[in-house]
Amino acid sequence: MIDFKKAIKEYYEREINCIKNFNLDEINEAMNAIMNTYENGGTIYVCGNGGSASTASHMQNDFNKGISEYTDKKFNFYCLNDNVSTMMAVANDIGYEEIFRFPLINKITKNDLFIGISGSGNSKNVLNAAEYAKEVGAKVLGITGYSGGKLKEMADYKMHVDEMDMQISEDLHMTFDHMIMKIFYNYLTANKITGYNINDKH
């Protein structure tokens, strides 16, 4: 049997160090941006490529169902990479760099929030959508890794993993989603659902 224990320990130690170095002020500001958009009835658009696309889709699920099942006021998350046929049509007919911007045209407003997830922070299609969002007055939240790239520079709010590793960045991006979901669920349902635990059904 191969002994991977040293490598396993080193991997998780790197993640622990990243977590210890999180900028909690920035994360708190980003969470307030999501909450404010929710309270004001805005739409939260989210997207990413590859593993980040899965995280974006997971976020939509956790807020539109995971929290909204237990609140009168519902979250309105829209994952731009979940409509595969539209996304591929735009990629084929217009260009892959436009797959996230095109669905925003004349839809996103200044009352909405755009969340772009990019490990490098330099995914052109995410940047194009973020730039359009800012043009119409919407705020941008960048979820990034590595140095943060252009997305971190242009974002109004940031949730950054300062680590030059895609897997660790993507791991911790997923924890952002679950952390926010858990905290928002507790905040929004306090004194409303006595004795209920969100984990009971899972």
pLDDT of residue 176: 98
pLDDT of residue 193: 47
Output the pTM of the full model. 0.94
Each residue's pLDDT tens digit, 171-193: 999 999 999 999 999 999 986 64
Closest alpha carbon to 59 in 85, 96, 30, 87: 30
- Residues 32-40, mean pLDDT to the nearest whole number: 98
Q: How sure is the predictor about 194, in pLDDT bands with cuts at 50, 70 and 90?
A: very low
- Residues 134-140, mean pLDDT to the nearest whole number: 98
The SS3 assignment for 110 reads coil
Each residue's pLDDT tens digit, 104-126: 999 999 999 999 999 999 999 99
- The chain-wide mean pLDDT, for the chain, equals 95
Cα–Cα–Cα angle for 200, 177, 98, rounded to 5 degrees: 135
Return the DSSP state at 145. Answer: -
| 47 phi and psi angles, rounded to 5 deg | -165, 165
Separation of alpha carbons 11 and 13, rounded Å: 5
pLDDT of residue 141: 99
For the chain, counts of helices (H) and of strands (E) = 7, 5
pLDDT at 57 over 80: yes
CATH 3.40.50.10490 applies to domain 21-188: yes
Q: How sure is the predictor about 201, in pLDDT bands with cuts at 50, 70 and 90?
A: low
